[in-house]
Structure 1
Amino acid sequence: MAPDSFKESLTSVEAAAAMAAGIHDVDPAAEVVEVPIADGGEGTALALTPALGGELRTATVTGPTGTPVDAVWGFVPATSTAVVELAEAAGIHLVPVDRRDIWRAGTSGVGELMAHALDAGATTVIVGLGGSVTNDGGLGLLQALGVYVTDRDGTTVTPDAAGMAQADSLDITGMDPRWEDTQVIIAGDVTNPLCGVDGASAVFGLQKGATPQDLGPLDEALRRWVQVLAGGCGGDAGTIRDVPGAGAAGGVGAALLAVLDARMESGAELLLDLVDFRELCRGADLVLTGEGSVDVQTGHGKAPAVVAGSAAQQGVPTVAFGGRVSDSAEDLVPVLFHSVVQVSEPTAPLEESLARGAENLRKHVAEYLRKATEE
């Protein structure tokens, strides 16, 4: 059982448990291994930390709109590894749709979580980027780590996209020197560059509260911001801007690459490697995965696709379950998945489907297994 989260319905841990229950409804003696996964977005800390033998901790940090939020992060004492999930401190789920203001949302809380990790003794910090409501280029995060960012008049800018648009100078001398000996790994869920038609603003801006008229100015602000980043760190703006994943979480990827010399990884592949997934599924009869919506985009490096690819290397078929399954998902069968199964009732209201996510997933897993064994 290796599902991602079903957004607004089930965490990956809950989804794996529901799948396991569906299997046991049909065959109580079946051996079931639950491996909740994530691709860097919501649920990364919850899925990865226990798998690595770590402990979940909670810290009160600055939320995306400036009000405090309680954010969960993970720490693995045996390896001095921390797992920081951006969505916990700057996630889109933290701000109702009618209150989203892309110019005023910031990532200060993510930097505060990273500082907590450093103080706990972490020498490796995995930062899951995904599910953000921000487009500040990681400005707030950097300021929380002690980076000094000013406008042309030498005034400190606000920790949001509006402040990023005014940024003219960046000074990293105030950062904790321990970061020089700390490895930062980006667990990303997208490969978008920072700017352009495939960049952070154009692709994700509207869902974060931008208007169509905001997209051009936001993109231009990120173009200027990467020049400031490069100027303050001695890097090459063009290289930073165009790195796949630099546009993750509204440009946080670019900030971490430039200032902390972070290493970019596929979130899902990183997690599967860390838990030795290929060995876990060796000899299995079937792998079950899933996420909230299964469509043609699922095949482009999203967590269920990475699971299926890893399982295929061991000769194990994978079945994907989705809260919603689009017609385009059929293109993934049999290329990627053995089957795709929708778990919500087509005519049911969305609120009802989300509330009954565990029940529906359990039911459809059991139904699939019954049919498979009959065949």
Structure 2
Amino acid sequence: MTRVVIAPDSLKGTISAADAAAALADGWASVDPDARLIPRPMADGGEGTLAAFAAARPDAARMPLGAGRSGDPFWLLLPPEPGAPRGTAVVELAATCGIERVGTGRPFDAGTEAFGAAIAAALDHGVSRLVLGIGSSASTDGGAGVLTALGARLLDRAGAPIAAGARGLLDLERVDLGGIRELPETRVLTDVSNPMTGPRGAAEVFGPQKGLVDPVVRARVDAAMGRLAMLCGLDPATPGTGAAGGVGGALVVLGAELLPGAAEVAGLIGLAEAIAGADLVITGEGAFDGQSAAGKAPSHVAALARAAGVPVALVAGRIAADAPLQGFAAAVSLTELAGSAERSLAEPDRWLRAAGADLAARRNGRRGAGD
């Protein structure tokens, strides 16, 4: 019986990692119904992190925020284990105030209070450990909203609380951390190593994709984030502090540890253990290119597979000409399979099923299976 571990990241903007893994599994099963298919959807701290944990950890409890209606944000509670006797909370920024949730229409006003409130809810529950995914941010507020939600006072010249988002950050004159809540062991998942400020900082590098397109405005926001860092006793040049519009820096102020997201998720969902003894691993993401080797989920999955002596196949929405494909036993582009980017983007689940069937057919020595 063929044993296949299926560990893709999300195809950003089209399909989640969990749904991508399910579609690949369906396609494989259509050719090889006797195979043992083990889904381990991956994430790097951004959108899909909660779904990856939920798929890999059936013992996790969904903890709703607000009224708990369908579509409302939530966090996950992992059961007690050594080192975390009261459980571990997994909180995802993308699920509370990420760019997929709030869009880019008001980049000056987008804040991170909702993420801070979710962390506070987990603290109220009394967890022993926090795992915080901070990718897919819509804000450039330096983590001011997170600090405020956890008890800090960020004040303007008149001593009044500043407004949310980058707009409020421009008025910041004083920070009072006296009432801040203490965090337990806190691991922050990110694939970003940018500093908080400067040419590679949060405003300059990530601001435009969130709607901060005016370079004069970005320079003002960059300066304001530098002032926040100074008032908090943070070196804004610290790698990773620019993650999520500066949320990385705010969490460092609170004593959290910034970690490579893909590696940490893989460890927490037991990916290496799942790969041990497998016949094949399938991984992938939306666009696989020259930057994909630098800490992205597929490259980490591939490294784990190679360390275990297991062949690994890649499935991606698009595979660029400069993509590092050395070491992959097979690579499937959904764009090529569908005939165009438009078709693959319109029906990602259909073409992922076709990719799964194609890989199973190759494995079984048959001709490639299309759709």
TM-score higher than 0.5: yes
**Counterpart contact for 1:129–1:189, Cα < 8 Å:** no
**1:1-375, aligned counterparts within 5 Å?**
1-52=6-57, 53-60=59-66, 70-79=72-81, 80-97=87-104, 99=105, 101-176=106-181, 179-180=182-183, 182-213=184-215, 214-230=217-233, 237-238=234-235, 241-258=236-253, 260-329=254-323, 332-335=324-327, 337-344=328-335, 348=340, 350=342, 352-374=343-365
Post-superposition offset of 1:110: 0.3
Decide whether the 8 Å contact of 1:344 with 1:357 is kept in 2: no
CA contact (8 A) 1:165 1:224 kept: no
The DSSP-based 3-state class of the residue aligned with 2:62 is strand
Alignment TM-score, normalising by the size of structure 1: 0.88
User: Which residue identity is paired with 1:109?
Assistant: A
Distance change in 2, residues 1:274/1:249 (3 Å): same
Work out the CA distance in 1 between the residues paired with 2:43 and 2:117. 22
CA contact (8 A) 2:103 2:138 kept: no
Q: Aligned partners of 2:344 and 2:170: how far apart in 1?
A: 41
- Greater shift, 5-14 or 80-89, is seen at 5-14
Query: What TM-score comes out, normalization by structure 2 length?
Result: 0.89
Q: SS at the partner of 1:60? A: coil
After superposition, the C-alpha distances for 1:222-265 in whole angstroms (9 at most, x for unaligned) are 211110121xxxxxx32xx222211110000000001x200111
TM-fit CA distance, 1:349? 6.2
Higher share in helix: 1
Partners in 2 of 1:81 and 1:28 — Cα distance? 36
Secondary structure in 1 aligned to 2:322?
helix
What code does the residue aligned with 1:272 have?
A: A
Structure 1 residue 106, shift from structure 2 partner? 0.3
Specify the SS of the correspondent of 1:131: coil
Give unpaired runs (5+ residues) of structure 2.
1-5, 82-86, 367-371
Q: What letter is aligned with 1:340?
A: A
Find runs of 4+ consecutive structure 1 residues off by over 6 angstroms: none
Bigger mean CA deviation after superposition, 124-133 or 160-169:
160-169
- What CA distance in whole angstroms lies between the structure 1 residues aligned with 2:359 and 2:100? 32
Q: How many residues align structurally?
A: 350
- Give the secondary structure class of the aligned counterpart of 1:341: strand
Q: Counterparts of 2:39 and 2:198 in 1: how far apart (Å)?
A: 40
RMSD: 1.9
TM-superposed deviation, 1:86: 0.2
> Which ranges of structure 1 fall in alignment gaps of 5 or more residues?
62-68, 231-236
**Kept after mapping to 2: 8 A contact 1:195/1:219:** yes
- What letter is aligned with 1:328? D
